[in-house]
A and B are shown apart, each in its own frame.
Chain A
Amino acid sequence: MDFNFTDEQTMVRDSLTRLVREKYDSDSRRAVIASESGWRPEIWSQLAELGLFGMPFAEEDGGFGGGAIDSMIVMEEFGKGLVVEPYVPTVVCAGGFLKHAGTAAQKAEHIGGIVDGSRIFAFAYAEARARYDYANLESTAKKVGSGYVLNGHKTVVIGAPWATHLIVTVRTSGSKRDRDGISVFVVDKASDGVVTRDYPTIDGRRASEVFLENVSVPADALVGEEGNGLALIELVTDEAIAALCAEACGAMKVAQAMTVEYSRQRKQFGVPIGSFQALQHRMVDMFTEYEQSVSMTYLATLKLGEGENERKRAVSAAKVRIGQAAHHIGQEAIQIHGGMGMTDELAIGHYFKRLTIFDSEFGNVDHHMKRHIALSGG
């Protein structure tokens, strides 16, 4: 057993801590999320220069041979600064699909661009009537000539306005909710027939509704086997969940610490509000929730390489526990800040919003509770 990071991981984390502190103070972030584009390509380049995007890829694919623990470290730091740039869609999701199922040609085509920051992905999996079921797809791909034609509507695709490429899940055969018949494609966002409607999200990011209207893609846009995509999607989204859990931990840590600090500074009735036991114990509960969440993030991350059942159970357990903790900590942080917590001016509200949306990404508490029950033999 070993809960230590390697020297290299510690170095990466320290340089990220610095970068987030220097470039992601709350005023800069507020200005960025209100700007036309909503993000900073120059931060993206800087992250690429740090070598961040190559960490989880194997050396023979042009990466540095790391894995999920590296993504965990990155995302925890990003969570502390509420970084909006699309690391999870690009590196964890698209990177994951390519890593696990890409052909040599596909890896050669895309991974270099991911590592150097020039190729940015969004993961278009959600659909309007599917809730959190990856198999409940109405989008389709039909074989036409040597390639495929895609149709459908993908909803709330995080990071899509910034993306050069999309990973799209569609049905190639079978009927709604069948486990078989699902396929994964890489789509150049500039392809004819890709229509996006872009918007900001509650938590300061950008997303799109993506409409695929007879989008023609070549045969080699298919990632993995045709019709066999679901297990791959489950693997990659479990990896994404572990990374998001780490992000939530970063955000919870800051929200928790900010609240304690505020309770020290804010005086009412002639004393700091932190001296009221009614608030002290609640801040202790926030801290406990945070610590439990870190543990569950480790559990999920370390089980990603295990067999399917063990992996899914651990990831669902983490998503349940951290989904609950994120709501709890977010709500308590606002309450203890009083009126100030309600303002856009204070950073705490922005942490609350990110922690609110976290629950609905890749399945909420109820969804993962059910998956956990199903995998636990009852």
Chain B
Amino acid sequence: MNLEFSADELAFRDEVRAFIGENYPRDISASALRDDMSPKDLVAWHKVLGAKGWSVPAWPKEYGGTDWTPTQRYIWSEENARINAVMPLPFGVSMVGPVIYTFGNEAQKAQHLPGIRSGEVWWCQGYSEPGAGSDLASLQTTAVRDGDHYIINGQKTWTTLAQYADWGFFLCRTDPSAAKPQEGISFILVDMNTPGIEVRPIKLIDGGYEVNETWLTDVRVPVENLVGQENKGWTYAKFLLAHERSGIAGVARSKRGVEQLREIAKLELLDDQPLISDFAFASKVSQLEIDLAALEITELRTLAGEQAGRGPGPESSILKIKGTEIQQRLTELTLEAVGHYGTPFYGGIPETGSNEYPIGPDYARHSAASYLNMRKTSIYGGSNEIQRNIITKMILGL
């Protein structure tokens, strides 16, 4: 057992670091919130990586993956987090992509995988409905066969960044009379430009618009857009959720976040001394860092298990719970660090006069909005209560 990188791994790290240094698009703001960014900014790095062949490292080599070891993938996220890179959105790369190459037919692979790799095609995830959140299997959106089309009707919600999406992957009920709700669901790819789709923005508590209601009225979708078998969609969805969960720990990014928090706490003053020299505050930052170290090694253990052919199993629920708690705590401490300057709603400030009479330091601008926004992480991707239920059942056997 050891934690050292080998000489090859160090060489890989240097290569990656040099590539990022030379190619990361300079005009993307490093610290902005997602919803502050233009859609172009959100995919700019994805496109560069697509051209290099590094946009989907976790995929099998034959579909454009990299064959990197878990350690190399770990190095990859570390190096990107060092500069707060805006990584490819998960909907194509980590969600629908793996479903398509695992369960899709050759035509679907040929049609969709290249656009996902290159970042040309924007995907959204149409799972949740107003009545079907944690209990996803109770979803009501229907797809009814009509010749060589499905006709889809229903309402999806919380569809992240659907306002920019070219394609969506939807869970629809194809057999309303199935014995169990899970059994009558299908996984269907939908061109978001199809008539009958209406995307309505939902404003969130931080003032941003990152999710939408997606209404589907008599949307005609060719039958060849069904992935795998009809009524087997739940199996594919579960497969996908496991993928979603393992990336959700966000360790590398949180490590960078702790560094940034320390930088802020050096600039912020308490009794004319850096805030970070205050024992009470410093111990909260260290507590966070200690929890993060535990999570990091736990994730590495999980990755190693994956390499040995185990998982990602129910243990990934631990990564989701601890990872999101740490992300939330990080933003809470950052908000605390900036003191009074957490109070202004920067998103609502008119731009005029900003140079002459500035409002607070730059690093305070996103503190409250990030704190509010990150509450979502313990709700989505299978809420942290649902993760605990999974561990209860699958690991503790209760």
The answer to whether A201 touches B128, judged by C-beta atoms less than 8 angstroms apart, is no
The answer to whether the Cβ of B359 comes within 8 Å of any Cβ in the partner chain is: yes
Bound: A133/B346 CA distance, A: 25
Residues from chain B with Cβ under 8 Å of A197 in the complex: 353, 357, 359
The answer to whether B345 touches A200, judged by C-beta atoms less than 8 angstroms apart, is yes
The answer to whether B281 touches A360, judged by C-beta atoms less than 8 angstroms apart, is no
The answer to whether the Cβ of B205 comes within 8 Å of any Cβ in the partner chain is: yes
The answer to whether A338 touches B133, judged by C-beta atoms less than 8 angstroms apart, is yes
The answer to whether the Cβ of B248 comes within 8 Å of any Cβ in the partner chain is: no
Interface locus among B4-12, B28-36, B79-87, B264-272: B264-272
The answer to whether A155 touches B342, judged by C-beta atoms less than 8 angstroms apart, is no
The answer to whether B272 touches A176, judged by C-beta atoms less than 8 angstroms apart, is yes
The answer to whether B205 touches A155, judged by C-beta atoms less than 8 angstroms apart, is no
Interface SS of chain B: helix, strand, loop or mixed? mixed
Residues from chain A with Cβ under 8 Å of B133 in the complex: 268, 338-339
The answer to whether B375 touches A344, judged by C-beta atoms less than 8 angstroms apart, is no
Residues from chain A with Cβ under 8 Å of B383 in the complex: 335, 338
Least Cβ distance of B380 to chain A in Å?
7
Bound: A177/B281 CA distance, A: 21
Bound: A356/B370 CA distance, A: 13
The answer to whether the Cβ of B110 comes within 8 Å of any Cβ in the partner chain is: no
Bound: A360/B383 CA distance, A: 29
Bound: A4/B343 CA distance, A: 36
The chain B residue sitting closest to A282, CB to CB, is: B385
The answer to whether A338 touches B134, judged by C-beta atoms less than 8 angstroms apart, is yes
The answer to whether the Cβ of B388 comes within 8 Å of any Cβ in the partner chain is: yes
The answer to whether A344 touches B353, judged by C-beta atoms less than 8 angstroms apart, is no
Interface locus among B113-121, B291-299, B333-341: B333-341
Mark contacts of B356-387 with chain A using CB atoms, 8 A cut-off: 1 yes-contact digit, 0 otherwise. Answer: 01011000000011011001101110011100
The answer to whether A342 touches B344, judged by C-beta atoms less than 8 angstroms apart, is no
The answer to whether the Cβ of A186 comes within 8 Å of any Cβ in the partner chain is: no
Interface residues of A in 134-148 (CB under 8 A from B): 136
Interface residues of A in 323-343 (CB under 8 A from B): 327, 331, 334-335, 338-339, 341-343
The chain B residue sitting closest to A195, CB to CB, is: B357
The answer to whether A211 touches B357, judged by C-beta atoms less than 8 angstroms apart, is yes
Interface SS of chain A: helix, strand, loop or mixed? mixed
The answer to whether the Cβ of B145 comes within 8 Å of any Cβ in the partner chain is: no
Interface residues of B in 99-145 (CB under 8 A from A): 128, 131, 133-135, 138
The answer to whether the Cβ of A132 comes within 8 Å of any Cβ in the partner chain is: yes
The answer to whether B204 touches A335, judged by C-beta atoms less than 8 angstroms apart, is no
* Cross-interface CB contact of A344 among B207, B270, B342, B349, cutoff 8 Å: B207
Residues from chain A with Cβ under 8 Å of B138 in the complex: 268-270
The answer to whether the Cβ of B58 comes within 8 Å of any Cβ in the partner chain is: no
The answer to whether A177 touches B379, judged by C-beta atoms less than 8 angstroms apart, is no
The answer to whether the Cβ of A366 comes within 8 Å of any Cβ in the partner chain is: yes
Interface residues of A in 67-119 (CB under 8 A from B): none
The answer to whether the Cβ of B147 comes within 8 Å of any Cβ in the partner chain is: no
Residues from chain B with Cβ under 8 Å of A202 in the complex: 342-345, 368-369, 372
The chain B residue sitting closest to A155, CB to CB, is: B340
The answer to whether A207 touches B344, judged by C-beta atoms less than 8 angstroms apart, is yes
The answer to whether the Cβ of B202 comes within 8 Å of any Cβ in the partner chain is: yes
Interface locus among A123-131, A230-238, A249-257: A123-131
A177-B272 in contact given A199-B359, A341-B379 (Cβ < 8 Å): yes
Residues from chain B with Cβ under 8 Å of A176 in the complex: 272
- 28 A–B contacts from the bound complex (CB under 8 Å): A126-B340, A128-B341, A128-B360, A129-B269, A129-B272, A155-B341, A195-B357, A197-B353, A199-B345, A199-B348, A201-B343, A201-B345, A202-B368, A267-B131, A270-B138, A278-B388, A339-B157, A339-B380, A342-B375, A343-B203, A343-B205, A345-B202, A349-B204, A349-B372, A357-B342, A360-B336, A366-B278, A366-B281
10 nearest A-B residue pairs (beta carbon): A349-B205, A344-B203, A268-B135, A200-B348, A156-B340, A197-B357, A200-B345, A199-B349, A269-B135, A202-B368
Known contacts A156-B341, A199-B346; 17 additional CB pairs below 8 A are A128-B340, A129-B269, A131-B275, A132-B339, A136-B272, A199-B348, A200-B345, A201-B343, A207-B344, A211-B357, A268-B138, A341-B375, A341-B379, A342-B375, A345-B203, A349-B372, A357-B342
